[in-house]
Structure formats: C-alpha cells, structure tokens
Chain A
Amino acid sequence: MDVRPDEPEAIEGGATPGRPRPAVRGLGDRVFRLVVRAGGMAVLVITGAVGIFLTARALDALRVAGLKFITTQAWQPDAHRFGIAAVLTGSVFIALVAISVATPLALGTALFISEIAPARVKRTLISMVDLMAAVPSVVYGLWGLSFFQSHSIGVARWLATWFSWIPIFKVTGADPTNPLASRSVYTASTFIAGIVVALMIMPIQCSVMREVFSQAPAGEREGAFALGATRWGMIRSVVLPFGRGGIIGGTMLALGRGLGETIAVYLIISPLFRINIHILQTGSISVSSLIALRYSDSSALGISALFAAGLALFILTLIINFTASTIVAHSRSGAQSDV
C-alpha cells in the first residue's frame, strides 16, 4: 500500500535496494487521512468525554461518601447516606438469575441449530434468534409485567414451599399452609425480573455459542463418527470442547448485558434498598433502575451519587466484557471469530 509506482528517483538512484522507501502521498491521500483521522479522534473525544465526565462527577459523590459507598445499603444522598451495597448486589442477583435460566436454553438452542436442525431451516432459525435480540426491551418488560408476573406465582410458591431450607428460596411472611394467604409476597421479585431479563440476554448468548459451534472442524466431527460415536458422543467429544471458549465468553457477554438492563427491571420490581437474598420475595433494586427512578428528583449531589453508581456498574460490566473477549480470543475457536 505504501509503495507508489511514481517515484523515479527511488527506483533509479536506489543505493540500498532492500531499504523500505518512505511513502510519498498525494494531496488527496493526505486530505483523506486527515479526514478519517479526524473521525477517529472525534469518536475518541466523545467516548472519552463520557468516561471522564462520568468519573469526574462520580468523584464528587465518592468524596462525600468515602469508603462507606461500598458498604452502605440505603440511598439517601441528601442525608449523605448512600452506597452501592444493595443496588449493585441487586443488579448482580438479577443478572445471575437471568444467566442461570438463559444458559441451558441458549446452549440447547445453539446446539440444536448447529447440530440437529436440517440445513433448509437453519437460516430461518438463526434469523429468529437475531430477531429475538432486536425485540425492544420494553416489549419484554410489558410481557413480564402483564402476563408472566401473575402466571409465575405458582412456581414461586412451590419453590418457596418445598425449598425454603435453601436460603435464597426462603420467603419471609409467606404461609404455605394457609390456602388463602396473600400472594403478593411473591410478586415484583428478583426472580421474575431475572427471568424476563433472561429472555433478553438469551439470544446474545445463543448466537455467540452457535457461531463457535459451527466452526468446529469437520474433520474431527467425521473422525468421531468414524470411531463409532453417536451424535451426542460427537458433540461431547468434539463440539463442546472446541466451543468451550465461546460458551464461557458468550455467557459473560450476556451477563454484562443483563447487568445494564433498565426498563424491564424498572417495570417489574418494587424498589427496596436492602440486600435481599430471598430472590422469590417482593423487593429488589438494580443500578440502572435506580438511575431511571431517581434522576429527576435529585439534587446536584444526588446526580453525582447516581453517576457514582453508574460508574461502579460500568466498571463491573467493563471487567466482565474484557474477560469475556480475552477468553474467546485465547480459546481454540476464537482465532477467527469476532465477539
């Protein structure tokens, strides 16, 4: 690219022929590079400005709260009592519920599309998964609020009745022996929000996994079959080991996406600023729904506090995303794929 044919002196008087010649650019190329570099700079300035502004405003609040920012559960910025202990763990709980529901579905669907589905429906199925990722989150939220919430109470009550000896399934205030007990203790919970978020993140996870599975080398697949493996034997010994990086990477990417989900969570949960490990019980909070909830009626310090919470979430997502892309890039299947 750098070698131009119209360089007579370089060709005729080249004392050292092997030395790379400096590129001579025309005016057009210089202008082109200038414009394109300006575009790159502009993007850097915009994204950098967001990051710097976010950090700067967050520092105002962090200076007030100090180290207590990490341990405080309440959110009362004007009383100088605020922290991310409840909101960030709430986000993480919702994302974890979402991941544990979405992973089996995504893995099964990805394996189905890449290994079982006949070739003629494969493209349609892939499109459907992509479409699922493009459905607006408010639509999922709407579905969760008006359909799923009321229909999942039975499941929640069953889990609470039989598995309450596991701390996360315990519901305080519920009385399983009383058939007329109020069902409202099971609504607006982390569990319901998590399942709605699961529907949103599942397609991302699924498409990363499917992409990686479809790259499993045909030679090794045929080798497994030739040694007498059944289809599942082949999947277990060739496809799954090959795609391990994609499975882990896709799951973490989806986790990052689930942490930032706002509207669906906002619509479903009822805010509770306390660490609530009982996922079936009413009351939860997440960073992004906190921001949507409190941005309008906040003082300057309140906004700073929201920025601090946003920054904490951003850093967490960033760590997860970079870990995911590193895992994918260093896995055997990640050499060609872009995640």
Chain B
Amino acid sequence: MKRIFVDLERCMGCKGCEIACAIEHSKHKNLIDAIKQLPPPISRVRVYGNFSGSAPFQCRHCPEPYCYFACIAGAITKASDGTVVLDRDRCVHCYSCVMVCPFGVIKVGEEEKLCAVKCDLCEDKNIPPCVQACPTKAMFYGELEEFLNLVKRRRKKEKCIT
C-alpha cells in the first residue's frame, strides 16, 4: 500500500507541507483565498520538533488503529488497501478518535461541520500536495520498498561527498 514516508535526515521543519495541505483542503484551493477563508482551512499535517530534529506528522494509517476502536459511530474503517478512512457523514463529533490518536493528527474540524478531520492521502491526486511541496524531498509517497531503496541510494551518495 502507498503511504507517506519521511526521510528524517532531510526535514528542515519549514512547514511547507502544512501550507500545501491547508490550501488543498480549502474551498478555492489557492493560497490567497485559503488565507482569507473563515473559518480557516485545517492542515491535516503538522510539523513537530525544532531545528535539531523535526518531522511532519499526519495519519500513519496504523495497522490496528486506536481511532478505529474508539469510534463510537463506526465512521472510521480500515480499507482493504490498509488506509484508515474517516467517513464524514457518519461522524457524530464525539472526538473519541481525537482522544486516542497517539500522534495527535486527528483534529477537531471547524470547517462546515464540527466533525473530525484527518489526512485522507488526497486520493484524487497522484501525489499528495504536501509531498509535492516539500523543498528538500524529505517526504515521499509510495511503497515502503521504494522508499527504503531511495534512502539507501541517498545515503550512499552522501557518503561519497564527505
């Protein structure tokens, strides 16, 4: 299954992914309207950390997600491809998922409904905008295998330089 992976050596904590995500989930999908939008669009990704170590966090699509167990409405399900899906129409905004997500990546929505929001991997896009926006290519969208190979290649190269 395709997921977002992060090369931690490369995350500089610029928060470009946060902006890109908020724009993608805004009404008009451009920066200026997104900034003016009220209530503001919510970024599904959050960069944690500081200069000495940082990483973007978004839904990790856990194999046995706490949020699935906590959801009282059956609104959170694990799809056959392994993604954790939140059905906004079933959500009754009890925030049980917010209560248990250890990454703090399910947020209280304030858009048109109070329901919970989280990363949906932007399924209509080939590459999620947050990944595309990453200036250092720390974020990667694809299979685990591909990502591991990429990291291996990168590390080899870096060794040559030093």
The answer to whether A and B assemble together is no
Residue numbers of B with Cβ under 8 A of A are none
